[in-house]
Amino acid sequence: MKQQPFEQDPNCITLQGNRFQQSILKYIVPAIAGTIFLFSCKTDLEMVDAFADKERIPSITAKNIEIVYTELGQTKLHVIAPETQHFKFTEEPYTEFPKGITVYTFNDSLEVESQLKANFAIYYDEKKLWNAKYNVVAMNKKGEILNTEQLFWDEAKKTIYSNDMVKITTADGVIFGEGFDSDENFDNWVIKKTSGTIYVNDD
């Protein structure tokens, strides 16, 4: 599967880094002018309310973000998002993609290994865990297509998984199930509690 050309939006912010998760925190966060929340609290109750507001309101908001993760000068990951919000003042800091996300992974020949789209996603900074939700569609280099409503990507373990209902369309048929495990490139996968239709070639 050859790499599809990306059209560069003149209003888009493109970032490169040696570690993808650090790109979000060390490049996006300092590079974009954020809002600093200053609270003048007269009572303890007002102070509590102020901190609660800080947890609910993003500390950084960015539009039209593209993140490129490289290893030894070769592109390995390309992330595109219409909007990114970073929540810093929470017990567990996270980055939210409220308007969806598109992710491409590449091999050494710059061919697309896999791609994923979702209508919503969250990245938990400390856990290095992605949570993609709502109309999640993933495709691997063999053209196999995964559809589900929630998919997790564990960067540390290099795995993707779901506990939701899933559908995988292959050249041999359509398989349904509840629960899914795979490597991060969606090459070797297993569906739990399977059901579906397999097409058999008589030839």
Residue 75 sits in a domain whose CATH number is 2.60.450.10
Query: 25-29, 53-57, 58-62, 140-144: which has the highest mean pLDDT?
Result: 140-144
For the chain, what is the mean pLDDT?
A: 76
Predicted pLDDT of residue 198: 58
CB within 8 Å of 160: residues ≥ 6 apart: 138, 151, 152, 153, 154, 180, 181, 182, 183, 184, 186
From residue 95, give the alpha-carbon distance in Å to each of 121, 122, 145, 148: 8, 6, 26, 22
Q: Is residue 203 part of a domain?
A: no
pLDDT higher at 74 or 124:
124
Q: Give the pLDDT mean for 153-164.
A: 92
Inside any domain, residue 77: yes
pLDDT reported for residue 107: 80
Structural domain contains residue 179: yes
Residue 41 confidence class, pLDDT cut points 50, 70, 90:
very low
pLDDT higher than 90, residue 19: no
Look at residue 4 and tell me if it is in a domain: no
29 pLDDT above the threshold of 80:
no
Q: What is the pTM (predicted TM-score) of this model?
A: 0.68
- The domain tally of the chain equals 1
Q: How many CB atoms lie within 10 A of CB 116?
A: 22
Closest CA relative to residue 134, chosen from 113, 114, 116, 159: 116
Domain carrying residue 118: 13-198
